[in-house]
Amino acid sequence: MSLKSMFNTQVKIRRYNSPTLDSSGGNIITKTGDIVVKGNLRLLSADERTVTGRDGVVSTHRLYLPMGTDIAFKDVARINEEEYSVNFVDNPHGKNKFLQVELTIRR
């Protein structure tokens, strides 16, 4: 089985530009165009870390994407009508085979 055949879920990646001020001082947040790629989403069972003395879930899901996919921290991934915040993007072991993306479900 090839690695590419495991990327079977459609992922829409959205990036927002930094806020700019309008004439009355309010924030205007614009988005760049959506990128659509195929990936593989997996639920994490227990990725917890102590944050300021409390247990908090850092990542709820892990997404695997083809190498070269334009995705970064603070992007939003939309998969099957659910939105996820991108926490971290990694190239495991520097092998340039695929990207491993840590996500948190947005509620």
CATH number, position 81: 2.40.10.370
Q: Which residue has the higher pLDDT, 32 or 47?
A: 32
- pLDDT on residue 47: 46
What is the count of structural domains for the chain? 1
pTM (predicted TM-score): 0.78
Alpha-carbon span 66 to 6, nearest angstrom = 10
Contact 16, 30 (CB under 8 A): yes
pLDDT tens for each residue of 47-58? 455 444 555 657
Domain hosting residue 77, numbered range: 4-105
CA distance to 9, 27, 79, 98, 104, per residue, from 66 (Å): 12, 34, 16, 5, 20
pLDDT per residue as tens digits for the range 70-105:
999 889 999 999 999 998 899 999 999 999 999 999
